[in-house]
Structure 1
Amino acid sequence: MLKKITVSRVAVAVSAAVLLLPTAGAVFAQTSAGEPLRAIYQKPVSEWPAPTIDEGVEWSEMAPLQLPKRPEKGSKEHLIAALGAKLFDDPILSKSGQISCQSCHNRELGWADGVKTSFGHDRQRGNRNAPAVITAVHRPSLFWDGRAATLEEQALGPIENPIEMAAELDKVLERLSTHDVYPEMFFDAFAANQISADLLAVALASFERGLERKTRLDLFMEGRHSVLSDSQIRGLHLFRTKARCMNCHNGPALTDGKFHNLGLTYFGKPLEDLGRYQVTNDPKDVGAFATPSLRHIRNSAPYMHNGVISSLRKVVLLYNFGGGRERPRTKKEAADPLFPTHSNLLQPLKLNRTEIEDLVSFLEAL
């Protein structure tokens, strides 16, 4: 069955895969040593079972995320973030005056937009899924291909992108400078008489950095053990061990900040996207995309860089198969130095139905 799955059919394959899964003979609720999982995981994280990590993988242990203290009302930091919040919601940043940052990063849709790939200026459709901006603060680089090094750099990108907001930055700054409210808000926040692109970027980035909130896993690791169900604790154990998730999703932010090829490049097909390669021109980066943080992941479906996976259950099924499978169809493709190489961190997991349900339940607690 595994050998027949190709990337062009992966969405169909994961939808049907559950029919082929074995069921568990008994619910996995304790370790081989007989100690109940809940008792084990109610201990400090330092005493949890060691995660399954491949040799050579750099990783860090799970930990509650330490949120920065919220700025005092009226402080400079508060005024900058408040300015950024207003700008984030304002379509004044777009050419049409109808698209805002919020259009693709909607607070009611998990700070994403709920569609496979986003619509922009003149209803043009991009080729990538809108990442949930609530976790943007954790990323060492931004966009799925990592082409922006900072949140400030990323914030200006969509404004000028012809498919997204399609504006000319000079004209946006002119609009802001002649607006009834913005000149005073920029002066109060930055003591600046002139609105610049740099200040615009700082305000938007400041707002985005303040979006993160605690998850149930954070609370659990801080001692509020009733917030996770038994199923979610079993899923936590699977996440750390048999499911091999911590090879890429580790640390407080549940991301390694790196780029991996999951077999979803669609090389030579209509959905082709070469990912990180478009930034580095390094053949080893063909089809590699940024590892997203899994924090708040339940709210931001659909998933993957192109939104082709509609639910967390189907994401888990994809990984259970060992990822997508891209194989050359012709000798020419086989000889192409850009034909993508599937990450060696992915391998079939052999999770049964109960384990899949538990792992999905845990992901929903994030």
Structure 2
Amino acid sequence: MFDGSAGRAVALAAVAALAVAVVGSLMRADRRQLSDVPTPGELKELRKLYAGTPATWPRPLLLPGANFTEMAPLRLLPRPEGKEQKLVQLGAELFNDPRLSASGHFACQSCHNRRLGWGDGLPTSFGHGRAEGRRNAPSLFTVGYKDALFWDGRAATLEEQALGPLGDGREMANAELAGVAQRVAGVTTYRARFSAITGRDDVQLSDVVNALAAFQRTLERQTRFDRFAAGDQKALSDEEVFGLHLFRTKAGCANCHNGPLLSDGKVHNIGLSFFGRKMEDLGRYGVTGNPIDAGDFRTPTLRHVSVTAPYMHNGIIPNLRGVVGFYEGGGGRVREERREEGDRAPLFEAARQNSPQLRPFKLTAPERAALVAFLNTL
């Protein structure tokens, strides 16, 4: 006979074993084996697994350390009203006004064009004096929903972010930021409209960046995936649902691209620092000075990803098929021959350590097509 405590221990062990068996069964279901070219019947059964809310979908297959939040439709910020709407309108005009640059030749929209997914379609942007930047102009679609901006996360707010390009010598090149506000104040209509909002007769730099930020917070739009995740089963085709399943399982995309923003909000090293080479960019290390951050970049959102090419922080991948191929290979690599000694030795060691959320995988041609089809719905 067992005493009471021993009996409870046995019972708990039995419950734990049952839980493991149930979880194992669920995981096997989540890994549902489909044909290389799924039949209509298989796709029909797969669609049933994704018929409910995201909370009921098959659990994603995650690698150790993944910071997963369930995918969900993004709740758009409320439409501005009153003075806030007037500030948005001012921000929209200033966004397109080259007066904000020292040369009078560049506006915010020069690198963030609505018709180009709020980017510029170039691997890296050109600015003042045709100077070429070293990073891809990130899309502005979700900037109003983030708590860290730029590829290296160096700005915490949109207002802080706006000061970066205004003062950068390769971008809008304002050596004295006060001159930006002076030029805006020199336009009678701008000055009168700001006065109606602020109650002051002057225009300050903070007014300008507040207007730009207010405008950028209105840029996000609903996607087909938002509608599907909210219950509209017709929003995605069978192939796209298949791609969603691959995104969450075999391809491993959900390890880093999850939640309503399709980003874990973290920094990761995907092997594209080009350490010791002409295109070297050590990412987050440039902000923190901590060698462990060498090669880390923030996870970009995948919302509207189909219209924001080219991809990666340096714009080296021209299309989504190329992005999928890059991750199939497990990301990039820092070559051993780039090893350095002395002060740069810790940087080399950090830069060569890819994120644990990266691992190679192999898709068939139909799977690759399905995954790209799904990415086009985001």
TM-score by structure 2 length? 0.86
Q: Could you tell me how far apart the structure 2 residues matched to 1:150 and 1:210 are? A: 15
Instruction: Find the counterpart in structure 1 of residue 374 from structure 2.
Output: 362
The yes-or-no answer on 1:338 pairing with 2:338 is no
> In the TM superposition, what is the alpha-carbon distance from 1:45 to its structure 2 partner?
1.5
Show the counterpart of 2:146.
Answer: 139
Q: Distance in 2 between matches of 1:219 and 1:25?
A: 28
Instruction: After TM superposition, give the deviation of residue 35 of structure 1 in Å.
Output: 6.8
Q: Is the Cα contact below 8 Å between 1:232 and 1:361 reproduced in 2?
A: yes
Q: 1:138 & 1:60 partners in 2: Cα distance?
A: 15
Q: Which residue of 2 aligns with 1:353?
A: 365
Deviation at residue 355 of structure 1 after TM alignment: 1.0
Structure 2 vs 1, CA of residues 222 and 161 (structure 1 numbering), >3 Å: closer, same or farther?
A: same
Output aligned runs, 1:199-278, within 5 Å: 199-278=207-286
What stretches of structure 1 of length at least 5 have no aligned partner? 1-23
User: For 1:133, what is the secondary structure of its paired residue?
Assistant: coil
Q: Which has the higher contact order (CA 8 A, sep 6+)?
A: 1
Deviation at 1:191, TM superposition (A): 2.1
Secondary structure of the residue that 1:64 maps to in structure 2?
coil
Among candidates 288, 292, 295, match of residue 303 of structure 2: 295
Counterpart CA distance in 1 for 2:356 and 2:123 is 27
Which deviates more, 239-248 or 328-337? Answer: 328-337
2:57 aligns to what? 48
Which structure 2 residue ranges, 5 or more long, are not aligned?
1-34
How far 1:30 sits from its partner (Å)?
Answer: 7.2
User: 2 CA distance for matches of 1:353 and 1:129?
Assistant: 29
**CA–CA distance in 1 between the matches of 2:328 and 2:167?**
40
Residues 81-140 of structure 1 show CA distances to partners (whole Å, capped at 9, x for unaligned) of 111111111111001111000000000000000000000001110000000011212322
Q: List aligned pairs for 1:144-163, cutoff 5 A.
A: 144-163=151-170
- Please tell me the residue identity of whatever aligns with 1:119: F
Q: CA deviation at 1:71?
A: 2.1
Give the AA of the match of 2:178. D
Partner in structure 1 of residue 96 of structure 2: 89
Deviation at 1:253? 0.6
Q: Structure 1: which 4+ aligned runs deviate by more than 6 Å? A: 28-31
Decide whether aligned partners of structure 1 residues 332 and 58 sit closer, same or farther in structure 2, where only a CA change above 3 A counts.
closer
Residue 173 of structure 2 corresponds to 166
Identity %: 50
Q: Tell me if the contact between 1:259 and 1:290 (Cα under 8 Å) persists in the aligned partners.
A: yes
Report the CA distance between 1:203 and its aligned residue.
0.9
Alignment pair present for 1:128 and 2:140: no
Measure, in 2, the Cα distance between the counterparts of 1:331 and 1:210.
46
Q: Cα deviation per residue 1:199-249 (whole Å; 9 max; x = unaligned)?
A: 211111111011101010001112221121111110101111111111111
Larger Rg: 2
Q: Partners of 2:70 and 2:215 in 1: how far apart? A: 28
Shift of residue 330 of structure 1?
A: 5.5
Q: In structure 1, which of residues 106, 109, 115 is the aligned counterpart of residue 116 of structure 2? A: 109
Deviates more, 1:63-72 or 1:279-288: 63-72
The 1:124–1:252 alpha-carbon spacing in structure 2 relative to 1, beyond 3 Å, is same
Structure 1 vs Structure 2 CA RMSD: 1.7
Q: 2:73 touches 2:230 (CA, 8 Å); kept in 1?
A: yes
Which of 175, 186, 193 matches 2:194? 186
Query: Is the contact made by 1:236 and 1:362 (CA closer than 8 Å) also made in structure 2?
Result: yes
SS at match of 2:188: coil
- Measured in 2, the distance between the counterparts of 1:337 and 1:133 equals 34
SS in 1 for 2:90: helix
